[in-house]
Amino acid sequence: MYNDTFIIKKIIVLIPLYNEEDNVFAITQAVDNVFKNIAHCCYEIFFIDDGSTDKTLSKVKILEAKYRNISYLSFSRNFGKDVALLAGFQHISPAIDAVITLDSDLEHPPDLITDLIEQWQKGYDLVYAYRKEKNRNTSSLSNASSKIFYWVISKLADVKLENGISDFKLIDKKVLSVIKTIHEDNPFFRGLFKWVGFKQIGIPYSVGKRVHGTSKYSNKALIRLALNSITSFSTKPLTIAIYIGFFASLISILYIQPLFNFLSRMSISFLDRSSSTYTSFQGSFVEVY
């Protein structure tokens, strides 16, 4: 019986970057340490520099010149994380077996890569990580905003997302091939990957400690992400708008005639009073003359 267990699998580790000059070397070393202990897999790191304004790109270039398994793509300005991921997916060769996406700040613990690959080897096409507790590296307001975000999504969107689901995941090549056929100007990949189906499993994780810098994901960006995800994966906002339009039209139809009659009576009454006043004034003028 043929067994492909010992065939070397090629995995691309896709890492979007935005002003992460202090974390580039650290995430590279951490990923390399993980793959040293994973048999029958070879890997490459593909950085996507999302218009960084610090020394992120220059440090990526140093790594690319030093290591054959590191490459990068650089944007002229900041387009956002999901657009960076989209560009990365489009540039990945169909010859690869899987893609792993994770953040560069070490909040996505690289050690979890081993668990992602184990589940993939068991037959899962998509293995995603979700946060099992609040993020210790962010404020209470940010954690509350995140919780509200996932609650809103669960109520309005047509895909169900676990609270704390992340972009830390392993994607089999057949899932990636489907994702590449979807053309979205503002993709929301956490929702897209849940929406496309296939055999999926989630793995809980604890947020790693951010050693350098702060999160680049603001509450404003979270609100924009929420609106984008709701409009992309739900017909409910459109349905609500239709109902509002229908009831507004119904109210207009029911009340336009009474309103018209009321205004007509007011106009006639005003004209009658004006005519009476004019007649009285004219009579007075004649008597004086």
Average pLDDT over residues 46-53: 94
Q: Whole-model pTM? A: 0.70
Q: Do 39 and 70 touch, CB atoms closer than 8 A?
A: no
The reply to whether 240 and 206 lie within a common domain is no
Q: What is the pLDDT of residue 247?
A: 53
Average pLDDT over residues 148-153: 64
Range of the domain at 258: 236-289
The reply to whether 199 and 245 lie within a common domain is no
Which CATH number covers residue 74?
A: 3.90.550.10
Tokens 């047509």 found at? 158
Looking at the predicted structure, is the pLDDT value of residue 31 above 60? yes
The reply to whether 240 and 207 lie within a common domain is no
Report the Cα 136 to chain-centroid distance in Å: 21
Report the Cα 157 to chain-centroid distance in Å: 13
The reply to whether 130 and 172 lie within a common domain is yes
Nearest alpha carbon to residue 46 among 7, 10, 6, 19? 10
The reply to whether 276 and 200 lie within a common domain is no
Portion of the chain with pLDDT greater than 70, in percent: 60
The reply to whether 18 and 102 lie within a common domain is yes
Please count the structural domains in the chain. Answer: 2
In a domain, 283, yes or no: yes
Q: What is the pLDDT of residue 195?
A: 82
Cβ-proximal residues to 107 (8 Å cutoff; 6+ apart), any chain: 135, 137, 207, 208, 209, 210
The reply to whether 16 and 117 lie within a common domain is yes
Looking at the predicted structure, is the pLDDT value of residue 284 above 70? no
**What is the sign, positive or negative, of the torsion defined by CA atoms of 115, 119, 125, 130?**
negative
Q: For residue 203, list its beta bridge partners.
A: 129
User: What angle (nearest 5°) sits at the alpha carbon of residue 28, between those of residues 24 and 30?
Assistant: 120
Average pLDDT over residues 245-260: 56
In a domain, 156, yes or no: no
Tokens 């950085």 found at? 47
Which H or E element spans position 227? helix 219-233
Average pLDDT over residues 135-147: 57
In a domain, 98, yes or no: yes
pLDDT digits (tens, 9 = 90+) for 104-126: 989 999 999 999 999 999 999 99
- Dist. CA 284–CA 26, nearest whole Å: 99
The reply to whether 70 and 185 lie within a common domain is yes
pLDDT digits (tens, 9 = 90+) for 62-85: 999 999 999 999 999 988 888 899
In a domain, 82, yes or no: yes
The reply to whether 206 and 245 lie within a common domain is no
Looking at the predicted structure, is the pLDDT value of residue 91 above 60? yes
In a domain, 31, yes or no: yes
pLDDT: is 1 or 23 the higher one?
23
Q: Is 49 helix (H, G, I), strand (E, B) or coil?
A: strand
Average pLDDT over residues 145-170: 72
Query: In which band, very low, low, confident or very high, does the pLDDT at 45 lie, cut at 50, 70 and 90?
Result: very high
In a domain, 230, yes or no: no
